[in-house]
Structures are given as C-alpha cells and as structure tokens.
Amino acid sequence: MDPLALTLIELGAVVFCLGLLARLAGRIGMSPIPLYLLGGLAFGAGGVVKLEGMHEFAHLSGEIGVILLLLMLGLEYTAAELFTGLRRSWQAGVLDLVLNFIPGAALALLLGWGGVGAMVMGGVTYISSSGIAAKVITDLGRLGNRETPVVLSILVFEDLAMAVYLPILTATLAGVSFLGGLTTVAIALAVVTAVLMVALRHGHHVSKAVHSENSEVFLLNVLGAALLVAGLASAMQVSAAVGAFMLGIAISGATAHNATRILEPLRDLFAAIFFVAFGLNTDPTTIPPVLGWALVLAVLTAGTKMATGIWAAKREGIARPGRFRAGATLIARGEFSIVIAGLAVASGAVPSNLAALATAYVLLMAVIGPLAARFVEPLVKASSRRRQVPAQA
C-alpha cells in the first residue's frame, strides 16, 4: 500500500478510536489518560496490531502535545499568582517534593538503574496531574471549598519546580558534563526569573503582541509564538516545554482566557496523540514483570500525597474532611509523569523497562486518584460517625 495512504488510514483510525475512548471515560467518570495509554499499548510494539505508518507523525504530534499542555498550564496563572502561591505554599511544596520524589528515586536505585534512572523515576512519582486534579475539583463541585486554594498552591509549587527540574533532566539525559550542567541550570533559572519579571511588569505588552479580534489570526499568533519560543528554549538547552510554560505565564487577562478557549481542542487532540505515541513505543509484554513494583509505588505515593495534603490543609485550619479531600485530590499522576518518562526513553539513557514501570504506575494512579477524591469524604464521615457512637453510648 502507498505509504501516505497507510499513514492516513492509521491516523484516522487512531483519532476516531481516541474519540470513542474519551466518550467512554466521560461516561464512567474517569480521566481518559489511562485509556489512551492502553490504546497505544494495544497498537504498538508487541501489541495486538502494530501500526507501521504513523510513527513519525505521532512523534512530532506528541512533541506539540507536550508544548500545548505546558502552554495552557501557564495560561492558568499570572506571574502575581505564582509569586503569591509560592510564598504561601513553599513549606508544603518542599514536604511534597521530599515525600514523593524519594520513593521513585529509591526504587530506581534498588533496580540498578543508577543516578539517571533515579532522577527520572523521582520526577515521575513526584508531580501530580494538574489536569486530573482540576477536573476532579470541577466535577465534584469543590471550587469554593476551603481546601481548594491549598491544593492549587501545591500544584503551583510543583509547576515551578518542573520549570527548574526539566532543564536539569534534559542536560543529564544528554550526558552534559558537570560544568555544562551547571551552565544549563543557570540559564534555565535566569530565563525563568526573567520571564516572571517580564510577565509581572510587562505582561500586557506580551498579551497585546499575540492578541487579535480575528480568531484565525489569534490562533496562528499564539500557536506560532508557542512553537517559536519552545524551539528557542530547546536550542538554549532549556526544555521546550518550560519555554511554552513561561510564554503562557506572560500572557494574561482576557487574552489568556481567549487563548485557552481557542487552543483547548488542539491541546486535547495533540495531547491524546502524545499519550498514544508513548504507549506505541512501550512493549506491553514488559509491563507484567514490573507491575508489582508499580503497585508498591502506587500505594506508597498515594499515602505520601495524602500526607502532604492533610498537613498543608491542617496548617490552614481546615477541618478533617477537608484535609482528606485535599490529600486525595493530589494523588493522581498523569501527563507530566509521562512527559518525564518520554524524555528519558527517547534519550536512550535509561533502561526500556523504565517506560513500562512508568506506564503501569500512571495507569494505576490516573484511576486511583479520581476514585479516592470521590469517595474519601464519605469514608471520613462514616469513620467519624463510628467513633461518635461509642462516645454517646
């Protein structure tokens, strides 16, 4: 068959199936990310049917998906909100980092994957899924709850941590020397600081540069700027995703709101293809040997995220049910964990079974997280009632 025809047929079938999977996820009240990963596993290396024609397109589309994910995450915040969130949540953020980075790093060292593997797996287990957390808060009607600002502050801290972590990870995976690594980190910190200062003082100029009343022109301006900034950031040895995140922060006000509305369908499409592409490159036969470790990590890091949320909410004087709601909302891992694992696997600097472990772990956590957030409050209330009954007797 003609290669172009084969690519179009495979791409059309994949996109159509993604729509069916997203509909199924919506009906059962869960994130579609696990289903996208399973779809990629089914049609990749070692899967039921191997897709031959769309690998190059899937790779490029996946890169665009990561850029759009981080761009739109940046659009959710202003520089002032980031500074306020950082001042408010830095203690909970540090606790979150320590409790959730260590389990993944320790397991990687235990499995003999070395320092690079430890750095990758630590990032995989550390970062919560902002997308899943935001959806859970919205779906369960908790936007006005007292614990919600606490959760959002921790997520902001994690996003800023990623802005520093990703350039360091990129340099490490590329085998850059110690001096080169310090240079990369210094550049990354300088870029992040400069962009935050520009966004805080001159964000309206950035917004004006990309804004247009014509939706077509607006879309082209924002998307072109995101790809351009991401490419320049990558050329400077700063993660392309971080560059897109910084651009999103610099765009503010009504422009940010309109950009989110216009870009959302594109983000959903390319992000879905990114998850599929990651699954395509993971051999499902490598998952069973690491499934036990994935379960151990899932149980352990679900507990550490709960501990983080409970401690942070308690410091704000929030009652017991709210503390547990905060912890449960942070449990889910998703897009960023896969981004980190994807960067590592693409570099060839880590064992292939790291991808299998990351996939199994995210599959578990993307399901456990929303379920825990939905059912933790009834469980806490039932537990409180059981304690009160003997006291009344």
pLDDT in tens, 102-115: 999 999 999 999 99
Q: How many residues does the chain have?
A: 393
Q: Which amino acid is at 252?
A: S
Question: Exposed, middle or buried by CB within 10 Å (0-12, 13-18, 19+), for 16?
Answer: exposed
CATH number of 3-50+57-381: 1.20.1530.20
Whole-Å CA distances, 293 to 10, 50, 57, 134, 345: 34, 27, 33, 28, 19
Q: What pLDDT is attached to residue 62?
A: 78
Classify the phi-psi angles of 124: left when phi > 0, otherwise alpha if psi is within -120 to 50, otherwise beta.
Answer: alpha
Tokens of 300: 């352990």
Asked if residue 30 has pLDDT above 80, the reply is no
What integer pLDDT is reported at residue 344 of this predicted model?
87
Could you tell me the sign of the dihedral formed by the alpha carbons of 238, 63, 48, 24, in that order?
Answer: positive
- Residue 351: which pLDDT band, with cuts at 50, 70 and 90? confident
Structure tokens at 388: 């009160």
What confidence tens digit (pLDDT) does each residue in 205-226 have? 888 888 888 989 999 999 999 9
Average pLDDT of every residue of the chain: 83
Query: Buried b vs exposed e over 162-200: b needs ≥16 C-beta within 10 Å?
Result: bbebbbbbbbbbeebeeeebeebbebbeebbeebbebbb
**What is the per-residue pLDDT across 302-324, written as a single tens digit (0 to 9) for each?**
999 999 999 999 998 998 889 99
264: closest CA among 174, 364, 134? Answer: 134
Mean pLDDT of 232-242: 73
Write a three-state SS string for 254-291: HHHHHHHHHHHHHHHHHHHHHHHHHHHCCCHHHCHHHH
Classify 145 in phi/psi space as left (phi over 0), alpha (psi -120 to 50) or beta: beta
Is residue 65 classed exposed, middle or buried when 0-12, 13-18 and 19+ CB atoms within 10 A define those classes?
buried
Which pLDDT score is estimated for 393?
Answer: 45
Q: What is the DSSP letter of 51?
A: -
Inter-helix orientation angle 148-173/178-210, to 10°: 130
The full DSSP string for 136-183 is HHHHTT-TTSTTHHHHHHHHHHHHHHHHHHHHHHHHHHTT--HHHHHH
Tokens 């599959």 belong to 363
Average pLDDT over residues 73-91: 73
CB count within 10 Å of CB 49 equals 10
